[in-house]
A and B are shown apart, each in its own frame.
Chain A
Amino acid sequence: MSDVYVVGTDMIKFGRFPDRKVEDIGAEAALLALADAGLTIGDMQAVYSGNLGQAGAGVGQRILRQIGQTGVPVVNVANACATGATAFREGWMAIKAGVYDMVLAVGCEQMGKGLLGGAGGGDGISTEGLLGSGTMPSVFAHVGLEHARSYGTTFEQFAKVSVKNHHHSTLNPKAMYQIETPLEEVMGAEMISYPNTKLMCSVNVDGSAAAVLCSEKKARELGLLGRAVRVRASALASDPYTQHNLAAMDFNAVTKLAAKTAYEMAGLGPDEVDLIELHDCFATAEIVHYENLGLCGPGGAGRMIDTGETNLGGRIPVNVSGGLLSKGHPLGATGIANIYEITTHLRGEAGKRQVEGARIGLTHVVGAGSACAVHILEKV
């Protein structure tokens, strides 16, 4: 089977674009990624489009109406917060299988402001706030406090994640915000669901990102290997059964499963990874994923954030893009924006936030329901 390469990728600066159509937002990133590869939509043999808010409304085809109706197969993908990564993975699989040599993966999303989630299931009345809370800040508050239950993780340690990722975003012109948030400001912000304050919740933004995937043969033929990045592993998992999974969403087992699959596929371990973009939809989430992705042993995450190991310049920088917390989280675009970020570092083109000497990078997204995707990329 052919190795698969990312030969072009880009994202738009995330923001709020209520006056634009979602396909216009997606089309912008698609054209940027194609231009990055020096290709056109006419070169693409298939399009994999990730969008959650308008799943079922043919966003992929609508993007082609903006940039060229080439008649190629379009696959519209919806898979919770793993939507963009799943679209990317579908393209990877098609090339792996030898069906196509070059495909476009594009993710886009137009979000409203405010709370996501909320408990359903009530027969006639809403059960939100009656039978506990199913809003995303509450779900991820439970995730954090489960870690606190086992390891004594503190409010301050969770808050430090936000300080770090907001700091990183000041170095990323494509992040929604470029604002420092000192610890006292993060901890003193409006408490949403303990221990997540408002500054520990990801930003609902509009955005898009895209990537051109290519077989080795084609990349060689077109002379595209120079700036290409190899996909060493692509893994996707659904949530295996755990005792608390049906009452409180478990994002740990699903992440561990996807990470294990990805490390095995890549034939490497977490020690060989130089940087990570992981799913910090809430500050509490980043802490648990240090352990789920094997960056430290059980209970080691609090120490990692305390000692700055995951800062830019640290042992294993995490979310140097600013993460979902400050770069923003346009659901369908997030997974591909992570691919863009890692690719940019492996190319040595990340400017002020460049992780020096980066050779291997890992992306992780996990969505409620649950779906987890892990990709491992390597500098060619």
Chain B
Amino acid sequence: METPADPAALKPAVSCIKTDSAGKPYLEGHKCSACGEVFMETRRGCPKCFAVGTLSPVKLSDKGKLYNWTVVYRNFPGVPVPFVSAIVDLEGGGTLKGNLIEVEPDPAKLKFDMPVKVVFGDAGRTDKAGNHYLAYFFAPEAA
């Protein structure tokens, strides 16, 4: 998945995808100043420690580990299968689900805790108006 020439020109597929001043995409989380937990969306109160108004945006690491996975063989019409649905724990906090790419979608090839990196690219699907979107993906990190 190539990083597009101008990712800032694409709409983010989800709100945690941001671009820095140089136009480079990154993932944004929201960290609770009371308990330190990181969430992918902002909230009025902290789901973990119940403190209110303690979450603030934080730039997340582009490295993490594969916490969990499945290979999806059947999905809705139009969704290419098979693909790997992955749950990744980012270094320093933040847990999110995404597609793991650049790996054979074969249960025998997937290892818990394998190091992965976050990459960005065109979502490969458009809205009704034909707009393109920027998505995040996970890819195996060369050991």
Contacts and interface: CB of A to CB of B under 8 A. Distances in A.
A117 to B, nearest CB: 10
Contact of B86 (A128, A132, A241, A244): A132
Given A124-B11, A142-B87, A131 B70 contact: no
Contacts of B40: 246-247
Contacts, number: 130
A137 B14 CA distance: 23
A133 B135 contact: no
Contacts of B87: 132, 142, 244, 247-248
Contacts of A368: none
B13 to A, nearest CB: 6
Contact of A244 (B15, B70, B95): B95
A125 interface: yes
Contacts of B83: 129, 133
Interface in A117-169: 118-119, 121-135, 137-138, 141-142, 145-146, 149
Nearest to A201: B74
A17 interface: no
Interface string B78-101: 011101011101000001111100
A126 B14 contact: no
Nearest to B83: A129
B51 interface: no
Counting chain B CB atoms within 10 Å of each CB, the highest count among A118, A132, A137 belongs to: A132
B21 interface: no
Interface in B99-143: 99, 107, 112, 123-127, 131, 133, 135-136
A192 interface: yes
Contacts of A133: 70, 72, 75, 83, 85
A128 B86 CA distance: 13
Nearest to B81: A129
Contacts of A126: 125
B97 to A, nearest CB: 4
Contact of B133 (A124, A134, A246, A248): A124
B48 A127 contact: no
A244 B68 CA distance: 10
B13 A142 contact: no
A193 interface: yes
Contact of B126 (A115, A125, A134): A125
A200 to B, nearest CB: 12
B75 A125 contact: no
Contacts of A57: none
A131 B16 CA distance: 12
A123 B126 contact: no
B70 A241 contact: no
Q: Which of B37, B75, B95 has the most CB of A within 10 A?
A: B75
A96 to B, nearest CB: 29
Contacts of A149: 67-68, 112
A264 interface: no
Contacts of A246: 39-40, 47, 95
Can you list the 9 inter-chain pairs with the closest CB atoms, starting with the nearest? A129-B79, A141-B70, A132-B97, A132-B85, A133-B85, A124-B127, A194-B71, A247-B95, A241-B48
Given A134-B97, A247-B96, 17 more contacts: A122-B13, A123-B133, A124-B127, A124-B131, A131-B136, A132-B86, A138-B72, A142-B69, A191-B71, A193-B70, A194-B70, A195-B70, A241-B47, A244-B68, A244-B87, A246-B40, A246-B47
22 contacts: A118-B76, A119-B97, A123-B11, A124-B13, A124-B127, A124-B133, A127-B13, A130-B125, A131-B97, A132-B98, A134-B97, A135-B76, A137-B74, A138-B70, A141-B70, A141-B72, A142-B85, A145-B70, A193-B71, A195-B107, A246-B40, A247-B96
Interface of A: 115, 118-119, 121-135, 137-138, 141-142, 145-146, 149, 190-195, 241, 243-244, 246-248
